[in-house]
Structures are given as C-alpha cells and as structure tokens.
C-alpha cells in the first residue's frame, strides 16, 4: 500500500481522490480550505487534515503531495508553503494547469532543497472518475517511479493499441507543455464543430443536431469524444441551445500555445483563430465592429445601427 497527500478537492481533485479510494487500498490524506470538501473525501475512505502542516505530519517520508489548485498565485503560494514543511527526498506534484515555464522555475528552486517537483498535465475533466484521466507527466525518474502506483490507478487501463493512459514526457515542465498544446488542439477542434453546427442552425432544413452528432460517431472521419459530447449537449440543452449565453471562457493554455508558436515562428492559423473567436465571444471585439461600421458610414454613407438609448 502506498500513501499520498491531496491538496485541492474541487471537481477534479475530489474525483481523483474518489477514484484512488474506490479502485485501490492506497492511503490518501486530504486538505482543502472547504471543510465540506474534506468531509466528502473522508466519507470515501480518505484521511482528512486540518492544515498543510497537519497533512505533511500525517504522511510518512519520503512524501508525495499532489496539488490540484488553480494555476498561478494559488499554486505558487501552496508550493512555497509546502517547501517549508517538507523534507529532502519528498515530492510535490502539480496536477493543475500551470504554465510549463513556471514548472521549470519551481523545479529549479525545489532542487536546491532536495525536494522533487513533478508536473502532470491532466485531461479528462468531470468524466475522469468514470473513465480515467489522460496524464502527461514531467519530472525526475526516481520521483515518477514512486508516483507510478497512483498514475496507474488514475489513468485509463492500458490497451494493446495505445498502451497506458499516462506517459512520462521528459524533465520538469514537459508534462504541462504537452498538455498545453493538447488544449490548443482542443480549441481548434471545438471551433470546427461549433462552426459546422452554426451553419446547420442557419440552414433552410430543420436539422436535428443531436441526431447528426450521433450519426457522425458511426464510422465518420470526424467522430471523436467531442462529437459525443456535442450530441449529449444538444440532448440536454435543446437543439438551439437557447438557454446558453454565447460566451466562451479560456483558461490560458490556448493563449500560451499561440504565444509559444509566435516565439518559435511556427504557423498555427487554426488554433490562433479559435483563440480569437473566444475573445470575440467575450465582447473583446465589439469596439472593432463599431469602428468598422463607422468607417463604412464615412466612406460610403452606409447606414449604421444605433443603440436605442444612444
């Protein structure tokens, strides 16, 4: 039996703990600022901790501590606090969506203390509890060998065609780098489906979007899990998605992918366009549209649409 600590028990973290406890005898010690989230994991067989210090105290050295908190300052603050509590030979695992350059910097600082740092790009979302998480891992070999029992449990079972559901991508930072590009590709795929169904919505035919998505899953070259999810979304939300606002958020990884492509002078027209489409959905292109309308009015006398209160 192995042992691990989990910090951050939201949708992803809580489900990962649940999968470990459901499918193994491994011990999990959990902490979150939400006491209710801790209680939920305790009901599933985990051991709750009152603080980061209490979590570290409950783990036997050499310790494994997995972080599932938002990227940026929350992750950095958690790593900094743990660095003061952990000992040489312990390992911090970041399973969130950190930027790979942040991982490299953290790994360098933690090596000075003899603490290992592993970055795990985690894909699977809320479905991970049921089907497992695809995990792209970066970090030192000894630490990953110790982490392997948990990666094996969290990942989908291996199959003959594709192998295991997790892979060691390289040194610290490589895991989140591969996950970043994965998310950039995801942006492009999602945008392609969205544009296709947008055309269906404007068609003279009364098309059943869920039926089409299901049909495309039957041998079509565009079949994918995203296509399955499109069918599910149309069934749950209705053919016209009337209750949804046309606003698409972005977590940063698509932007980082495009920024890295620009830095390396690698053309990424599809992923870049998909990223900009998300900005457009957030109203960030509204002023540009106003400028376009004003210019057409000035050079051609074309009518402009004015606000009712303008």
Active site residues: 179, 186
* DSSP E strand stretches across the chain: 3-7, 27-31, 47-48, 64-67, 91-94, 116-123, 134-138, 166-170
Residue 2 burial class via C-beta count within 10 angstroms: exposed 0-12, middle 13-18, buried 19 and up: middle
Structure tokens at 224: 């994918």
The rounded Cα 94 to chain-centroid distance in angstroms is 12
**Dihedral of the CA atoms 152, 157, 162, 163 (nearest 10)?**
40
Q: Are the beta carbons of 12 and 122 closer than 8 angstroms?
A: yes
In Å, the largest CA–CA distance within the chain is 77
Helix axes 269-281, 174-201, angle to 10 degrees: 70
Tell me how far CA of residue 276 lies from CA of 181, 216, 281, 287, in angstroms.
Answer: 16, 27, 9, 15
Q: Which residues of 69-100 are buried (b: 16+ CB within 10 A; e: fewer)?
A: bebeeebbebbeebbebbeeebbbbbbbbbbb
Q: How far apart are CA 121 and CA 95, in angstroms?
A: 6
């Amino acid at each position: 039996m192995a042992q691990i600590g989990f910090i951050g028990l939201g949708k992803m973290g809580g489900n990962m703990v649940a999968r470990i406890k459901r499918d193994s005898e491994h011990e999990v010690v959990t902490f979150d600022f939400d006491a209710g989230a801790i209680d939920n994991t305790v009901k599933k067989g985990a051991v709750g901790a009152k603080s980061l210090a209490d979590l570290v105290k409950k783990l036997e050295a050499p310790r494994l501590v997995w972080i599932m908190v938002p990227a940026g300052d929350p992750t950095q603050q958690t790593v900094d606090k743990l660095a003061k509590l952990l000992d040489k030979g312990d390992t911090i695992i970041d399973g969130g969506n950190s930027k790979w350059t942040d991982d490299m910097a953290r790994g360098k600082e933690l090596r000075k203390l003899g603490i290992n740092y592993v970055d795990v790009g985690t894909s699977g979302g809320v479905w991970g509890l049921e089907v497992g998480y695809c995990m792209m891992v970066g970090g030192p070999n000894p630490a990953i060998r110790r982490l392997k029992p948990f990666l094996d449990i969290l990942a989908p079972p291996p199959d003959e065609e594709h192998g295991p559901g997790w892979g060691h991508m390289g040194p610290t930072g490589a895991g989140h780098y591969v996950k970043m590009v994965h998310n950039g590709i995801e942006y492009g795929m999602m945008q392609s489906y969205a544009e296709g169904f947008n055309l269906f919505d404007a068609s003279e035919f009364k098309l059943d979007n869920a039926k089409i998505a299901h049909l495309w899953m039957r041998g079509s070259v565009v079949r994918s899990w995203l296509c399955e999810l499109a069918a599910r979304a149309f069934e749950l939300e209705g053919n016209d998605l009337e209750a949804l606002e046309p606003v698409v958020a972005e977590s940063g990884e698509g932007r980082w992918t495009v920024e890295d492509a620009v830095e390396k002078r690698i053309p990424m027209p599809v992923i870049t366009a998909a990223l900009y489409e998300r900005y457009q959905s957030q109203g960030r292109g509204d002023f540009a549209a106003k400028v376009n309308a004003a210019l057409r009015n000035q050079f051609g006398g074309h009518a402009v649409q004015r606000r009712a209160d303008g």
